Amino acid sequence: MRKLEGLSASPGIAVAPVFCFREEKTAAIPKYRIDSADIETQWKRFQTALEQSREEILLLKDDRNKFQSEILEAHLMMLSDPEFIPQIHADLKSKKLNVENILKNKIDETTAVLRASGDTYLAERAVDIEDAFGRVMNHLLQDGTAKTAVDSIDRFVPPGTILAAKNLKPSEALALKDAEIAGILLEEGGATSHVAILARTWRIPAVMGLRGILGLLSDGMEIVLDADDGLVIIDPPADVLSFYRSRSDAKRKKDTGEKTGSGPKRKKLPAVTTDGAAISLRANIALADEVRDAKEKGAEGVGLFRSEYLFLGSDVLPDEETQFAVYREVVKNLDGYPAVIRTLDAGADKMLHEQAVLEEKNPLLGWRAIRYSIDHRDMFSAQLRALLRASNYGDLRIMFPMISNMEELDIVLEIFEDVKASCVKNRIPFNKNVKTGIMIEVPSAATCADLFAKKVDFMSIGTNDLIQYTMAVDRENPKVAYLYDYYNPAVLRLIKRTITAGKRSGVEVSMCGEMAGDPGAVFLLIGMGLRTFSMAPVFISAVRDLIRKVSVEEAAELAEAAMEMSAAREIKKLIQGKIKSYE
* Residue closest to ligand PEP when measured from CB atoms: 462
Amino acid 129 reads I
Question: What string marks each residue from 503 to 532 as x (binds ligand PEP by CB under 6 A) or -?
Answer: ---------xx-------------------
Contact assessment for residue 376 and residue 221, using Cβ atoms and an 8 Å cutoff: no
Number of other residues whose CB lies within 10 A of the CB of residue 22: 14
Contact pick of 463, 498, 510, 532 for ligand PEP (by CB under 6 A)? 463
Contact assessment for residue 84 and residue 78, using Cβ atoms and an 8 Å cutoff: yes
For residue 441, state whether it binds Mg ion (rule: CB under 5 A).
Answer: yes
For residue 465, state whether it binds Mg ion (rule: CB under 5 A).
Answer: yes
Residue 540 contact, options Mg ion, ligand PEP, none, Cβ 5-8 Å cut-off depending on partner type: none
For residue 465, state whether it binds ligand PEP (rule: CB under 6 A).
Answer: yes
How far apart, in whole angstroms, are the C-alpha atoms of residue 98 and residue 561? 71
For ligand PEP, the closer CB: 126 or 195? 195
How far apart, in whole angstroms, are the C-alpha atoms of residue 180 and residue 371? 36
Instruction: Determine whether 20 is an active site residue.
Output: no
Site for ligand PEP in 303-342 (CB under 6 A): 304, 306
How far apart, in whole angstroms, are the C-alpha atoms of residue 291 and residue 283? 8
Q: How many CA atoms lie within 13 A of 246 on its CB side?
A: 5
* Residue closest to Mg ion when measured from CB atoms: 465
Which neighbouring-strand residues pair with 18?
A: 162
For residue 441, state whether it binds ligand PEP (rule: CB under 6 A).
Answer: yes
User: Hey, is 320 helix, strand or coil?
Assistant: helix
Of 20, 75, 139, 194, which residue is the catalytic one? 194
For residue 171, state whether it binds ligand PEP (rule: CB under 6 A).
Answer: no
Instruction: Determine whether 512 is an active site residue.
Output: yes
Question: What string marks each residue from 340 to 359 as x (binds ligand PEP by CB under 6 A) or -?
Answer: -----x--------------
User: In the complex, what is the shortest distance from the CB of residue 475 to ligand PEP, in angstroms, rounded to a whole number?
Assistant: 8
DSSP letters of 481-516? Answer: GGG--TT-HHHHHHHHHHHHHHHHHT-EEEE-SGGG
Q: Pairing mode, if any, of strands 231-234 and 2-5?
A: antiparallel
User: In the complex, what is the shortest distance from the CB of residue 464 to Mg ion, in angstroms, rounded to a whole number?
Assistant: 5
CA proximity to 12, closest of 337, 279, 255: 255
For residue 300, state whether it binds Mg ion (rule: CB under 5 A).
Answer: no
> In sequence order, what are the residues at sequence separation of 6 or more whose Cβ sits closer than 8 angstroms to the Cβ of residue 105?
91
For residue 462, state whether it binds Mg ion (rule: CB under 5 A).
Answer: yes
| Residues counted in the chain | 583
Alpha-carbon 578 to chain mean position = 34
For residue 183, state whether it binds ligand PEP (rule: CB under 6 A).
Answer: no
> In sequence order, what are the residues at sequence separation of 6 or more whose Cβ sits closer than 8 angstroms to the Cβ of residue 167?
186, 187, 188, 189, 195, 476
User: In the complex, what is the shortest distance from the CB of residue 543 to ligand PEP, in angstroms, rounded to a whole number?
Assistant: 16
For residue 349, state whether it binds Mg ion (rule: CB under 5 A).
Answer: no
Residue 300 contact, options Mg ion, ligand PEP, none, Cβ 5-8 Å cut-off depending on partner type: none
The residue range among 99-107, 108-116, 170-178, 436-444 that interacts with Mg ion, by the rule CB under 5 A, is 436-444
* Residue numbers annotated as active site: 194, 512
Positions in the binding site for ligand PEP (CB under 6 A): 304, 306, 345, 441, 462-465, 512-513
Query: Which residues make up the interface to Mg ion (CB under 5 A)?
Result: 441, 462, 465
